[in-house]
Each structure stands twice: as C-alpha cells, then as structure tokens.
Structure 1
Amino acid sequence: MNILVAVSSALLSAVCFGIGSVMQHEAARRAAMWKSLRLQLLFDLARRPGWLAGIGLSVCSFAFLGLALAHGPLALVLPLAATDLLFALPFLASRQREPLTGSEKTGIICTAGGVAVFLTVLPLAPRTSLPAVHDWVPALAVVVGVVALLVPVGVSSPPRLRTAVYAVCAAVTLALFDSLTKSTAGRFRTESLEALLHWEPYALIAVGVTGLVLSQSAFQSGSLAVSLPVIDTLEPIGAVAIGLAVFDEQLAVTGWTLTVQMLGAATAVTGIVLLGRSPLATA
C-alpha cells in the first residue's frame, strides 16, 4: 500500500507541476527583466491571476510530493515526479490547438518507458531513521556552492545561457527542497506537531522560497525548451544523489540491473530532451 500511495501521489505531483509550470511561464515572461532574482518578481507576479493559478497547482504538486515522500524513497518518487513534461506538452498543445508531432510522441514514449525501466529494477530498502544534522552538511555545502558560483555567471550571460544557468540553480535547490520535504514529512508522520521543534520545516521554507525565485527567474529569462528539460533532468538526479548520501537509499546493486537502470535513465533523459525541443515549448 505504501508504494501504491507513493507512485500515485508522485504522478499527481507531476501533473500539477507540469500544468502549473506552463501557466507560471506565461506570466513570468511578461514581467520586467530587472526584477529577475528579486522578491519583487514574486510580488509582481502575484498580481497576475494566471500565475496565481499556476502557483496553486504548484502548491498541490508540493502536497502530493510530500505525501509520496512520506511513503516512498527519493529514488522512487523523484523520477516519477520529474515526468511533468509528459503533461505540460499536451496541455500546451491543447491551449495552442496544435497536434503533437511524431518527435513529441517519441519523447513521451522514451520518457515514460525510461522511467518505468529505471524503477522496475530499483531495490526498495526498508524504512530507515531520519538523518542527523551533520549528515546534511555535504549536501547543503554543494547546493549553496553551486548557486553562489553560478548565479553571478547567469546575471552577465546572454538570455539563453542565463535561462540555462538559472535553471541549473533552480534544479539543485529544488533537489534539496525535495529531500527536506521527505525529512519534514517523516518528522510529522512520526512526531506530529513536535516536528516543529526540529530545523527541517524552517529550512524547507527558506529553500522553497529560494527555489521559487530561481525557477521563476529561469522561466522569465527564456523559453520552457531550455528551463524545463534542465530542471526535469537535474532535479531528480540531485534528489536521488542526496537520497543515496543522506538517507542511505540504494540503486541497483548487481551488474546487469545497474546497466538496465542506467539505460532506463538515459532513455528518459533522451525523451526529456526531445520534449524540450518541441516548438510548443520554445515560445
């Protein structure tokens, strides 16, 4: 039952995030560029109904993601939650009244099939205890370092590269956000309101706001064809890496299963790239 809840909730999270991202992107592209990387960007966007609807869907996505992570490991949940392009592209096609092309359909098949293969051979380890503060230090250091190094690069880069750089920063921040979501959900599940006595809920809020500013800045700077594939590829990779390092999760352990898993991951990434190159996402 736990795995069923985790899988279904992760897919619902992907649906909400994919459609919500399209709505946020449409609004963010109309905001003034000087507001990028500032909280002022969020205050501006908050006056736009379409963006608020997109954020509402993102909140639903977060709720489903928290439920999924309370019942399953990061290595199971995040690859499923990262399939949002499977839902964003058909939503864009319906809004623009255009049929999906053969390349787009191939991308959908590769993404869905690759994720399915990756998860088929994934070992599901028994539930472990929540990590201590010192277990988080390497992950926190890497994420802070990446953002601190790349944000100045993005500020002085041309639009397409700026979009990619901001998307990388958003992806690693969201990977940390996903991991903190799992830890926070675990706290509330086992300790109820006493979870508020721990640091994770407050770090979750700070990292979440930072990730929101970075992702909206990426959406504002350029097309979804650049930002979403980067986020959809690096966020699950980062979250799975944190799952391995911080939560002691496992990937496949034998040679052939690891090979199958890596082939599945490569196929899924190929599908995401194909979807990202869709004319629907390049507006």
Structure 2
Amino acid sequence: MSLAVAVPFGVGSAVVYGASIVVQHRMAQAHVGDEGEASASALLQMARNPVWLMAIGGDLVGFLLQIVALSLGSVVVIQPLVVLMLPVALVVSALTGGHHPRRADYLGVLGVLGGLAVFLALIGRPAAGHVPRPHVIGMAVLAVLVLGAGLVLTVIGRGRVCRGVMYGAVAGLYFGTLAVLVDAASDRFSKAGLHGLLATPRGFVPLIGIVLVGAGGIVLTQLSFQVGALGATLPANLATDPLTGVLLGVLLLRENVPISAWRAVVYALCLVAVVAGAIRLADPEHERRG
C-alpha cells in the first residue's frame, strides 16, 4: 500500500469527475423530457450527443485513475476524496461561462475541504484489509442493488426535489459500493493475474458487481440531473458515496478506522461540513441571488 502514490491518483480522479459533471448536468438540462421531467427517451437522446459522450469518456478516465488509486490505497482513504469534485466543478463552471464564485461559494469550498482534511487526519494510515469470499461479496452486491431499487420505488410519483434527492443518494450508494468492488478486483488481479480475475469466482464476482452497480449509478445520476434540483441531488450523492465506501471498507474489507465516542462525533461533524458545503456549491438558485 502506497498512499503517497494512491492519494494523487485519487485527487486526479476527483478533478476529472468534477470537470465532467458540469458538462453532464448542462446536457441533461438541455435534454429533459416533457414538462421538464426525467425520462428514458431523453436519456437515449443524450447518448447520441457527442458532447455528452465526451463527458462520459471523462468519467471513464476518472474511473481508471480511481482504479489505480484503490489498487494502491485503502477504500476508507481514497473514496472520501471524491468530494473534491465539487470545488473543481465550481472552477470549471466559472471558466465555461457559469456564475463567478461569491463569498458563500468559498465558504462552501472551505466546508468541503475542511471536513475532508479533518476526517483523513483522524483515520491516519489504515491497516491493509482482507477481501471476503465471493459469496459474501455477491450477497453484499445483491443487498445494495435491492435496497437501492426499493428506495427508488418509494419516490415514484413524488415531487421533483424528493425524487432528485433519492436518485442522487442511491447513485452515491452504488458508487460507494463500486469502490469496494474495484478494490477487491484489483487485489485479486495483483495476486493471481488476469486469469485469476476472469476465470475464478474471487475475480469475476466483483467484476459482475462492478458492471451492475456502475450501470445503475450512471443511469440514476443522469436521471437526477434531468430532474434538475442539483442543489439537492449532488449533496445527497456526495454524502452517501464516501459514507458507503467507508462503511463497506470497514465491514467487508476489514479496513481499520479508529473509532471512539469523540471520534464518532467528529466524523459526523466532518460529514455535516461536507454536505453543507456541497449544498452551497451545488445550489442552482444562487446564481440569481445577490
């Protein structure tokens, strides 16, 4: 495990994701369904747009960088770095004709960076984890998929903000799980090579999970962007993503995170700081407020 190499790759992944997310949201808003609602047909229209495809290609680059980071570092350290995409998105939006940052935006950046920095300082350098047996990973993936589908079904017919929050939260749940599966797959590849990854249950079970939760996360993210309430959907995504990654990293991979009563309180405060900063940075209404 080499955090000195893993962390820069994790940061690079967040930078690429942050740049791509600005383009994806703008394209989603330009391809909404009737009455501004999310729809499968609008998603198919975007899939034929070269600009949107380039942004998705950016996500692929970010994912490849994340794979390198997770193969070298622990999930509980690397996955929280995803919140850095918000400050990056703020800069990219300003450079591409979006609103110019105001004082409250900088406070939002401070909340995101401060919460992340304190969290990483508290967990220190976690010990190497242990990848569970394939049937455990398979059951965990199935449980996450069923939970996510159930949560999405509960908001059918609800308001746009409610649906946007749930789509974003479930997408974050899937992406956090994705990080754990990537870590498990990279561990198998490092120990048994390509044959061990593709031809044994310890390898192909995480790969199947990666495909399923990755596809689900992408679709739900795009649907949440079509709903349009970015100030609600993105914070929900960026709260559940690292939280899921850390929890599954501890429970499934047995990565050690120092825990005590006071640490639990500080961890919660870090999450609140990140979410509050995310709400400010993702609020679509602040462009019209003085």
TM superposition score normalised by structure 2: 0.88
Structure 1 residues 154 and 254, CA gap change in structure 2 (3 angstroms): closer
- Map 1:4-153 → 2, pairs under 5 A: 4-33=4-33, 36=38, 38=40, 42-96=43-97, 98-136=99-137, 139-153=140-154
- Output the CA distance in 2 between the equivalents of 1:256 and 1:130: 29
| Offset at residue 128 of structure 1 (A) | 3.1
The correspondence of residues 251-266 of structure 1 with structure 2, limited to 5 A, is 251-266=257-272
d(CA) in 2 for partners of 1:215, 1:173: 10
Aligned to 1:196: 198
Which consecutive residues of structure 2, in runs of 5 or more, have no partner in the other structure?
Answer: none
Amino acid at match of 1:196: L
Is residue 239–residue 271 contact of structure 2 (8 Å, CA) maintained in 1? no
- Give the number of aligned pairs: 281
Q: Distance in 1 between matches of 2:266 and 2:176?
A: 24
Residue of structure 1 equivalent to 2:164: 163
CA distance in 1, matches of 2:68, 2:38: 32
1:178-214 deviation line (CA, Å, top 9, x unaligned): 2111111222222221211232112211221121111
Instruction: Within 5 Å, give how 1:172-191 maps onto structure 2.
Output: 172-191=173-192
- Structure 1 pair 247/21, CA: closer, same or farther in 2 (3 Å)? same
Normalization by structure 1: what TM-score? 0.90
Unaligned runs of 5+ in 1: none
User: What amino acid sits opposite 2:11 in the alignment?
Assistant: L
What pairs up with 1:204-223 in 2 under 5 angstroms? Answer: 204-223=210-229
Distance (whole Å) between structure 2 residues aligned to residue 254 and residue 128 of structure 1: 20
Q: Which residue of the partner structure matches residue 233 of structure 1?
A: 239
Are 1:223 and 1:281, in contact at CA under 8 Å, matched by a contact in 2?
A: no
Match of 2:273 in 1: 267
CA RMSD of the aligned region, Å? 2.3
How far apart, in 1, do the equivalents of 2:146 and 2:98 lie? 43
User: 1:131 Cα shift?
Assistant: 1.6
Supply the AA of the counterpart residue of 1:103.
A
Which stretch of structure 1 is more off in the superposition, 220-229 or 138-147? 138-147
Describe the SS at the equivalent of 1:112: helix
- 2:121 partner amino acid: T
- Verify the 8 A CA contact 2:10 2:78 in the aligned structure 1: yes
Taking a change above 3 Å as real, the CA distance of residues 281 and 90 of structure 1, as seen in their structure-2 partners, is: farther
Partner amino acid for 2:25?
H
Q: Which moved more, 1:41-50 or 1:212-221?
A: 41-50
Contact kept, 8 Å, 1:74 with 1:179, in 2: the verdict is yes
